[in-house]
């Protein structure tokens, strides 16, 4: 396997694409559909004697533009089969109905979060630029959790790891007990939940399940969708779980300080004034936590979309001194 590092000025940090050669030439993720990234991917492939037209299959971890943006172009060059999870496949394919439904769900989420109209319009402009870099239009075949694919030098086993997106999937290299995690586990920052894909039901719950599944597998190494390999995937997954327990504590503290508040107000307390795509990610993450804590009975949600502590939680919160809230 060969890691190809791709620049990325639109989202967080450098992207990674992974090339497998042998009987079949396979690429996992493609980078975003910009001229610079296209050139970097072509150069990285050329280092191993491969062109776009030589690629037999593209496996996509999820639909986001910085992972799937060049899939259609690669397919057009040589007829590569493009694979993705069925939850994300219609967006990768550029299905108009799927994208219309996706945008409708985003608008509904903005209302629920209490996002001000002026911030919403700015965000929609940023998001449309991101859509332009999807370069959607690939014909997509789907896989399910547990499916296995011979990629020449190894076998990839699909591990459905939702949370960041509904269809986010990792790929286990069965011959070496290593895993390609996409954005499920990252080495530097924590993947956004709640805002990155508003279609995900119970996003924090699903993401915690994903982290638990990765930790339990005890892989020897993880190859993420951004930046450098992770030599202790179990430890990193547990670290991210701990991070969310700290964030849950901060969400409860925000409600204790602010009183009844919506997701936008809690986000402002957590993250301050946000710009660019973070205007989506901040309240989305706050909403994911508020939803999770509501389901756990720790807070209550009013019909107007505001949340407040229960009396029991306020008392328990006062007794905690470690800055975390068990999830």
What is the 3-state secondary structure of 115-136?
Answer: CCHHHHHHHHHHHHHHHHCCCC
The residue from 199, 233, 267 where one domain ends is 233
Establish if 326 belongs to a structural domain.
no
Q: Are residues 310 and 292 located together in one domain of the fold?
A: yes
State residue 325's pLDDT score. 98
**Is residue 116 a part of any domain in this protein?**
no
Has residue 255 been placed in a domain? yes
Residue 269's CATH number: 1.10.10.10
Locate all alpha helices (DSSP H) within 33-144, ordered by sequence.
Answer: 35-46, 65-68, 71-78, 89-93, 96-113, 117-132
pLDDT of residue 11: 55
Q: What is the pLDDT of residue 133?
A: 65
Residue at a domain's end among 233, 255, 289: 233
179 shares a domain with 46: yes
The reply to whether 55 and 143 lie within a common domain is: yes
In sign, the C-alpha dihedral spanning 210, 285, 9, 124 is: positive
Number of domains in the chain: 2
Please check whether residue 172 lies inside any domain of the structure: yes
Same domain as 150, residue 206: yes
Q: Domain boundary at 233, 259, 283, which?
A: 233
Is residue 182 within 8 Å of 224, Cβ to Cβ?
A: yes
pLDDT at 13: 64
pLDDT of the chain along its 327 residues, tens only?
A: 999 999 865 555 689 999 999 999 999 999 999 899 999 999 999 999 999 999 999 999 999 999 999 999 999 999 999 999 999 999 999 999 999 999 999 999 999 999 999 898 888 777 776 666 666 789 999 999 999 999 987 999 999 999 999 999 999 999 999 999 999 999 998 999 999 999 999 999 999 999 999 999 999 999 999 999 999 999 999 999 999 999 999 999 999 999 999 999 999 999 999 888 889 999 999 999 999 999 999 999 999 899 999 999 999 999 999 999 999
What is the predicted pLDDT for the residue at 319?
92
Are residue 77 and residue 184 in the same domain, yes or no?
yes
Residues 66 and 156 in one domain: yes
**Is residue 222 located within the same domain as residue 273?**
no
Euclidean distance between CA atoms 37 and 57, whole angstroms: 19
Residue 248 lies in a domain: yes
**In-domain check, residue 270:** yes
218 shares a domain with 74: yes
Structural domain includes residue 52 = yes
Note whether residue 324 is domain-resident: no
Q: Are 263 and 280 contained in the same domain?
A: yes
Residue 327 · residue 248 · CB < 8 Å? yes
Say yes or no: 211 and 296 in one domain.
no
Strands (E) across the chain are located at 2-6, 15-20, 26-28, 57-59, 81-84, 140-142, 148-150, 155-160, 169-173, 178-182, 221-224, 299-301, 307-309
Which pLDDT value is given to residue 127? 76
77 and 145 share one domain: yes
pLDDT at 47: 97
Question: Sheet harboring 178-182: ordered strands across?
Answer: 148-150, 155-160, 169-173, 178-182, 221-224
**Do 6 and 74 belong to one domain?**
yes
Instruction: Report the chain's C-alpha Rg in angstroms.
Output: 20
Question: 208-243 burial, b for 16+ CB within 10 Å, e for fewer?
Answer: bebbeebbebebeebbbbbbeebeebbebbeebeee
pLDDT digits (tens, 9 = 90+) for 253-287: 999 999 999 999 999 999 999 888 889 999 999 99
Domain interval for residue 306: 238-319
């Amino acid at each position: 396997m060969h890691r190809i590092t791709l620049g990325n000025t639109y989202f967080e940090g450098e992207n990674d694409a992974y090339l497998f050669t042998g009987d079949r030439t396979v690429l996992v993720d493609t980078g975003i559909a910009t001229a610079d990234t296209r050139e970097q991917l072509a150069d990285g492939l050329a280092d191993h004697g491969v062109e776009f037209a030589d690629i037999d299959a593209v496996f996509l971890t999820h639909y986001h533009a910085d992972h799937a943006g060049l899939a259609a172009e690669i397919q057009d060059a040589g007829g590569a089969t493009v694979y993705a999870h069925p939850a994300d496949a219609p967006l990768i394919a550029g299905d108009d109905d799927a994208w219309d439904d996706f945008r409708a769900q985003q608008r509904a989420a903005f209302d629920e979060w209490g996002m001000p109209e002026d911030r919403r319009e700015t965000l929609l402009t940023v998001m449309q630029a991101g859509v332009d870099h999807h370069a959607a239009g690939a014909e997509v075949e789907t896989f399910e959790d547990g499916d296995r694919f011979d990629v020449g030098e190894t076998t990839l086993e699909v591990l459905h790891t939702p949370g960041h997106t509904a269809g986010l999937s990792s790929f286990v290299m069965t011959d070496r007990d290593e895993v390609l995690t996409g954005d499920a586990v990252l080495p530097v920052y924590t993947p956004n939940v709640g805002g990155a894909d508003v279609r995900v039901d119970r996003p924090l719950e699903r993401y915690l399940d994903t982290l638990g599944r990765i930790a339990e597998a005890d892989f020897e190494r993880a190859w993420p969708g951004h930046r450098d390999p992770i030599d202790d995937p179990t430890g990193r997954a547990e670290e991210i779980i701990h991070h969310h327990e700290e964030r849950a504590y901060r969400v409860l503290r925000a409600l204790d300080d602010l009183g009844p508040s919506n997701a936008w107000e809690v986000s402002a307390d957590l993250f301050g004034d946000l710009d660019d795509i973070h205007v989506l990610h901040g309240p989305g993450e706050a909403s994911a936590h508020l939803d999770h804590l509501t389901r756990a009975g720790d807070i209550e949600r009013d019909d107007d979309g505001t949340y407040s502590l229960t009396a029991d939680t306020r008392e328990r919160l006062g007794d905690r001194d470690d800055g975390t809230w068990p999830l």
